[in-house]
Amino acid sequence: MSAADTQPTQPLPDWATAPHEPRRRRSAWPWIISALIVVALAIAAWFVAEWVARGLVERTIRDQIVTNLALPADQPIDVTVAGAVIPQLIAGELDDVTVASDDVAIGTVTGDVTVHAQGIAIRGDAAADAATATLALDTAQLQALLAGVQDFPVDSLGLAEPDVTMATELSFFGVGIPVGVALTPSAVDGDLVLTPSRLQLAGADVSADDLRDRFGAVADLVLKDWTVCIAEHVPAGMTLTSVEVVGDQLVAAVDIDGSILSDSALQENGTCS
């Protein structure tokens, strides 16, 4: 037996048997934070670009309106483009635009105007998908519109929701008797029509039959419908569709031909038959 065989077995020292320490995993938080910073910067850049693009588009629309309608350079005009502007510019079409301004002359009519248009091509001559407008006239502006209507007592015209009002006199044996008339406004075939709905004779309510019984055919001067042709006062591409008195204004709704932006004929005032 060798000497090695007679030596007692000794345990290995601790340093020889200690297990290897596991490799420390790198934290993911720095990467997450970095990604969030990049995303935040991208979002911020998008909003800055969107803000710049929106401002440019709205200023361009405003400048075109001022130029085309010969408005004062400082005319207050509110322009609102709905939705994100940059995707619309890329697509070549503005989805929804609203323009509003007070005391604007459209043709020979002046009033507070709001225009709402959809599907406006920014390249080429394509027609807008749809366009409408509202035109609000106060008493003085409505008087100016009706000044050319024969025999209408325009100086007595007033607005009292839901009616247009007027006053005149009917002669009875040489004596002038005051008559007050409430007129209901409506739109018929693009014209403004004022229809008598209530009558007062010397301050007392009367019916149309009572008025005819007292004045005969003379009563027809106040009992007739008053038809006002609007076509000659506004561009041919605009058609009156409805009208009502709201508060102290006559509010007219107008349909706009989508081709009016590119068709010069539609931009010229229409004609009355």
Domain ranges (residues) in the chain: 121-268
Residue whose token pair is 């007679």: 6
pLDDT band for position 131 (50/70/90)?
very high
Q: How far apart are the first and last CA of the chain?
A: 138
Which residue blocks in the chain are alpha helix, DSSP H?
3-6, 14-17, 29-68, 85-91, 139-146, 208-215, 220-223, 264-267
pLDDT tens per residue across span 176-212: 889 999 999 999 999 999 999 999 988 899 999 999 9
Burial class of 88 by CB neighbour count within 10 A (0 to 12, 13 to 18, 19+): buried
Q: CA-to-CA distance for 85 and 138, rounded, in angstroms?
A: 35
Q: CA-to-CA distance for 77 and 88, rounded, in angstroms?
A: 22
pLDDT tens per residue across span 220-260: 889 999 999 999 888 899 999 999 999 999 999 999 998 88
> Higher confidence at residue 28 or residue 100?
100
